[in-house]
Amino acid sequence: MIRGWKRAAVGALGAPLLLAGCQIAGPGPAAGAQLRVVAAESSWGSLAAQLGGNRVEVVSLVGSPNVDPHSYEPTAADARAVAMSQVIITNGLGYDTWATKLAAANPTQDRRTVDVGTVVGLSSGANPHRWYSPADVAVVIEAITAAYIAVDPRDRAIFEQLHQQLVTAGFADYNSALFAIRSKYSGVAVGASESIFAPLAQDLGLKLITPPSLLRAISEGTDPTVADQVTINDQIKQHQIKVYVENVQNRTPDIARQAELARANGIPVVDVTETLSPSTATFQQWQTQQLQQLAAALQEATTP
């Protein structure tokens, strides 16, 4: 359900703003009016709020850490929020088809849509968890700011200032946490419960050796093969991995057993989520905390 049109707080990458080619729409909202923004997921919603400051009102449709976005069922209130929106941010790549259907069922001529999969140049079948790719996050930040300026060109200077604020000071701790892991633990073998961790592992230089077919199966809600289950269990028992990363919002009985097997074999387990945790955190606070936990687990696992 709608969690209220919340006035955004300004909050948090280092890429330059590339907006010269963005399309400028008509006159935009009335002077002083805020843009109505809907994000299908709170990860993108947090960035949208920070990039818009008090010039936007942002609703994130999926925001609870206790909800699996893969199986989310939208409500009538969600449909109303989408129908009223001037900017909508969807993940795409088959992750939130329900949000795409809501937008299609409630079209408006002047609405701007930021489809993350399209923005980062991926097609159906790609790993949808793009908020775990720092490079893709930077691209999406650009796209959201461009959408705001297209709908509300009067406030371009404000949006550009908020963009600069986010990608410099706001993301400083996040970028530092990324650099610390890359520089110290590149090449370390790790395991994971599903594909959500794959983009981040690649960015960090970690060697994710869990069978890709198992990662994909759990992510898509299908049963992994017996062979894949045997492989990951052997990787744990033989200490071929140093750390096991579990998506606690997509925990199956098989995954629960894997995580317990890792703990029983002295392998640190790091929990990650698909949505902000806690729900009051900003995107960068949430991600930085998880990165710090990962760094601590890697230090524990690699210290003689």
Please report, for residues 20, 28, 79, 80, 84, the alpha-carbon distance to residue 106 in angstroms, rounded to integers and kept in the order given: 30, 19, 8, 9, 9
Q: What is the pLDDT of residues 140-154, one digit of tens each?
A: 999 999 999 999 999
Predicted model pTM: 0.88
| Residue 5 pLDDT greater than 90, yes or no | no
Which neighbouring-strand residues pair with 231? none
Local confidence band at 2 (pLDDT 50, 70, 90 cut-offs):
very low
CB atoms within 10 A of CB 190: 27
Enumerate domains of the chain plus CATH numbers: 6-169 (3.40.50.1980), 174-302 (3.40.50.1980)
CA atoms of 271 and 88, how far apart (whole Å): 29
More confident residue, 181 or 71: 181
pLDDT of 10 strictly over 60: no
Instruction: Check pLDDT > 60 for residue 72.
Output: yes
The pLDDT value recorded for residue 82 is 95
pLDDT tens digits, 181-216: 999 999 999 999 999 999 999 999 999 999 999 999
Q: Whole-angstrom Cα distance, residue 256 to residue 94? A: 25
For the cut 70, the answer to whether the pLDDT of residue 11 exceeds it is no
Quick one: pLDDT at residue 109? Answer: 86
Is pLDDT above 60 for 45?
yes
In this predicted model, what pLDDT tens digit does every residue of 88-142 receive, in sequence order? 999 999 999 999 999 999 888 889 999 999 999 999 899 999 999 999 999 999 9
